[in-house]
Structure 1
Amino acid sequence: MELTDRVLVVTGAGRGTGRALALRAGRLGARVLLSARSERTARAVAAEVTADSGADAEGLPCDLADPASVRDFAAAVAARTDRVDVLVNNGARYLPGTDLLDADDEAVADTIASTATGTVLLTRHLLPLLRASAAADVVNLVSGVAEPRNHRSDSHPAFYAAKAAQAGFADVLSARLRPEGIRVISLYPPDFTDADPLDPSWDTAPRTAADPLTAQSVTDCVLFAVSQPRDCFIRSFHFEQL
């Protein structure tokens, strides 16, 4: 797998899967523009990426629940590059709680806005830069909760709703951008535990058929898909659960 000279934008990179993808993309030679709600956090992760691999990385603030913040982030990206080769829509607010009354109105609205609306708006604002790429990919970290009749997660119903909306957007976007040669790749993993590529345990975590899905395998799927020749269009990844 190689991403040399490709420009990758990843949201929600302050921790977890987004941070792991930023670090791993840097190791593969990508230029990384990453976001987190906190500018300090975004800058800190970008510094980690550069220190780890020497990659060109920059962290910028973006609150996906705030349309103005999304516009500002997209404008900042456009000021730094004339194209985006890979957009990873990873950012989303996770909301726990099996009962609809487990979260207040503000938490529900923020979850749906950051996950569904934020994904739509950022993709919209970065679409001209994606179209400027000779080989653009849009990757959506959706969730198994967006699969029909998947009720195994303890996520709040609003999180289910947000991820279902994100999945619907990804599906129609894939069909409509395919004639332009832009691949839209979506992943539907079950709940999994975050892991740190900078920790020695990253390379030693058990990954047998008896083990639950790992962050290592989720990020492997993303990097594999965007590294394929253009005749290979992997539209989605679905995972069996233990």
Structure 2
Amino acid sequence: MKFENLRVVVTGASRYFGRALAVGFAHLGAEVYVSARTVEAAERTRAEVMGSARDRIHAFGCDLSRPAEIREFAARVGERTDRVDLLVNNGARWLDGMDLESASDDQIVETIESTAGGTVLMVKHFLPLLRGSLRPDIVNMVAVRDAEGASAATASAAHEAFWAAKSAQAGFADILSRRLRPSGVRVFSLFPPDFSTSDPRFAEWDGVTTDGIAPDEKLTTQALFECIVYAVEQPRDCFIRSFHFEPR
């Protein structure tokens, strides 16, 4: 319960890493406010959490491509708590396709709006609650970059619009870190390669370990979660701007 009374907001929490974050922080004692495109999807995450941790998860619907829904999400969280200690911008609209012409104009705009615009608006509307915290942190899930700083987009099945949005998200996180640091709000980003999205529901990570992982196995969800926990636990004069992971 080392995060007891910590207030955490997680976007894109209906599945995979977002759901894992909800599970992990709730079991550490935090109050977790999760969003998904529909409240039903967010409620499923809550329903799947074991034990008393379930009562510490609060579900909301929020489509990150719709500014009005982001404003409403922030307002509704503000009705439940006077602060947010950690905002995790995990939500992003995936778009398949190796061909620019394979997606419609609407799909391209929605992908960029939800991933890049959604991140900007989430920070904007949750900043008042973050500034009410004595330990405010913002985490952004971005994407892997190689040693030369190039994105792994060329090796991915994602559409070009998705990677355009992720690049915008990374640039926003960088300038945000510089500008919010004097006020004590820390901003850091994770740049993971393709990683395992093993579902923590079954054992809630009990007995799960990263020891003995073969060299060709993917980075695990648990390892990424523990990186966030590590950064959040650091003294407030320790600013970690980013975690960059080498693909196996």
TM-score, normalized by the shorter chain, greater than 0.5:
yes
Q: Distance in 1 between matches of 2:45 and 2:65?
A: 21
Q: Could you tell me which residue of structure 2 aligns to residue 110 of structure 1? A: 110
Matches within 5 A, 1:102-141: 102-141=102-141
Which residue is 1:222 aligned to? Answer: 228
Task: Determine the C-alpha separation between the residues in 2 that align with 1:20 and 1:201.
Answer: 9
Could you tell me how far 1:49 is from its partner in structure 2? 3.5
> What are the superposed Cα offsets for residues 9-52 of structure 1, whole Å, 9 maximum, x if unpaired?
00000111110000000011100111011111112212334636
Taking the aligned partners of 2:109 and 2:35, their CA distance within structure 1 comes to: 21
Shift of 1:230: 1.3
Query: Which is worse superposed, 92-101 or 79-88?
Result: 92-101
Q: Secondary structure at the match of 2:48?
A: helix
> What code does the residue aligned with 1:88 have?
V
CA spacing shift, 1:55–1:222, aligned 2, 3 Å: farther
Matched with 1:41 is 41
**Counterpart mapping for 1:69-218 below 5 A:** 69-144=69-144, 147-150=149-152, 151-200=154-203, 202=205, 203=208, 207-218=213-224
1:176 positional shift: 0.4
Residues paired across the two proteins, number: 242
1:226 is matched by which residue type in structure 2? V
Amino acid at match of 2:185: I
Give the residue type in structure 2 aligned to 1:152.
Answer: A
Change (3 A) 1:20 1:191: same
Query: What is the letter of the counterpart of residue 104 of structure 1?
Result: S
Residues 1:101 and 1:86: Cα distance change in structure 2 (over 3 Å): same
- Structure-2 separation of matches of 1:117 and 1:95: 16
Partner of residue 238, structure 1: 244
* TM-score scaled by length of structure 2: 0.91
Alpha-carbon displacement from aligned partner over 1:40-96 (angstroms, at most 9, x marks no partner): 111221233463635522101000001111111111111111000000000001112
Query: Equivalents in 2 of 1:209, 1:108: separation in Å?
Result: 36
Change (3 A) 1:7 1:149: closer
The residue type paired with residue 224 of structure 1 is Y
> Quick one: which amino acid aligns to residue 234 of structure 1?
I
Shift, 1:199, TM fit: 2.2
Q: RMSD over aligned Cα, in angstroms?
A: 2.0
Change (3 A) 1:149 1:21: closer
Match of 1:6 in 2: 6
Mean CA deviation greater in 196-205 or 115-124: 196-205
User: How far apart are residue 102 of structure 1 and its match?
Assistant: 2.0
Aligned to 1:144, the other structure's residue is in SS state coil
Bigger shift: residues 231-240 or 61-70: 231-240
- Could you tell me which amino acid in structure 2 is paired with residue 22 of structure 1? A
Letter in 2 for 1:164: S
Asked whether the equivalents of residues 145 and 160 of structure 1 are also in contact (C-alpha less than 8 Å), the reply is no
Structure 2 distance, partners of 1:107, 1:52, is: 40
Question: Is the CA contact 1:98–1:156 (under 8 Å) kept in the aligned structure 2?
Answer: yes
Is the contact made by 1:18 and 1:91 (CA closer than 8 Å) also made in structure 2? Answer: yes
CA distance in 1, matches of 2:46, 2:119: 21
Q: TM-score, normalised by structure 1?
A: 0.93
Q: Kindly, what percent of the aligned residue pairs are identical?
A: 51
